[in-house]
């Protein structure tokens, strides 16, 4: 009987030892397990700005192809910018790294980025797809009709020819120009016409000008021309 009691106490003691050992193993395992990485996204949005000659930090992503331009990336909130790495792409082709990118003069479309990827320290990737418009503003030729300070023999029934010309290097890329004719401060949208006949002018001093705007909103204004109407026939 005494032997059986001693065996039972030994088993209980051994069981308690196993339980303690198992408990310590669990604690050690919990202490050694790595913590989960912080994958929460910190960046709310990315802004892209363009600078070129007289253009400074514009969000209107339009450049003139004849001179160098710089793209710059900003992240919001801004305090995380130093933790972000930036890569610029055209489609799947990587063009450069860093928070800014220089576009050389007369760059081809493949040399101009259209994708920005920003990666934070936790491995989160932010992708922004955008489009840079490379456009040259139209310019007027100085030749017009009437010429400045011209005197025309006409009366109110005589049709006067107004004509002008403009130049746009982007014609070959499908750009189009549209005109607004200004006669005596009255505006007349004439579409793509570069010549218009107009009558109803009284004797005396008159003026005209033209505004040209291309498909991308760039424009030029013809310097105002002054002309004089004189009824040389004597008819009224």
pLDDT tens string 100-145: 999 999 899 999 999 999 999 889 999 999 999 888 889 999 999 9
Q: State the pLDDT at residue 35.
A: 47
At 208, is the secondary structure helix, strand, or coil?
strand
Ranges of residues in the chain with a pLDDT under 50 are 2-4, 7-8, 10-15, 18-37
What CA–CA distance (Å, rounded) separates 230 from 233? 9
The pLDDT value recorded for residue 112 is 96
Q: What is the pLDDT of residue 200?
A: 94
What's the length of the chain? 236
Only one residue has tokens 């397990």, namely: 33
Q: pTM score, two decimals? A: 0.63
How many Å separate Cα 67 from the centre of its chain? Answer: 17
């Amino acid at each position: 009987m005494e032997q059986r009691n001693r065996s039972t106490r030994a088993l209980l003691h051994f069981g308690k030892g196993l339980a303690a050992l198992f408990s310590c193993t669990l604690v050690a395992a919990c202490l050694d397990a790595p913590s989960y990485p912080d994958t929460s996204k910190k960046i709310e949005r990315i802004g892209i700005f363009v600078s070129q000659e007289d253009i400074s930090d514009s969000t209107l992503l339009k450049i003139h192809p004849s001179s160098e331009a710089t793209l710059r990336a900003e992240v919001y909130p801004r305090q995380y910018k130093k933790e972000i790495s930036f890569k610029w792409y055209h489609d799947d082709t990587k063009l450069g790294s860093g928070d800014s990118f220089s576009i050389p003069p007369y760059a081809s479309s493949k040399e101009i980025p259209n994708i920005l990827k920003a990666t934070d320290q936790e491995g989160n990737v932010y992708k922004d797809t955008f489009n840079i418009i490379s456009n040259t503003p139209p310019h007027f030729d100085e030749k017009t009709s009437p010429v400045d300070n011209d005197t025309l023999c006409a009366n109110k029934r005589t049709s006067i020819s107004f004509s002008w010309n403009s130049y746009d290097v982007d014609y070959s890329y499908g750009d189009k120009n549209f005109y607004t004719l200004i006669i005596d401060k009255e505006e007349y949208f004439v579409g793509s016409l570069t010549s218009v006949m107009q009558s109803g002018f009284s004797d005396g001093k008159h003026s005209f000008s033209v505004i040209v705007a291309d498909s991308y909103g760039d424009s030029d204004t013809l310097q105002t021309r002054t002309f004089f109407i004189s009824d040389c026939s004597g008819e009224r």
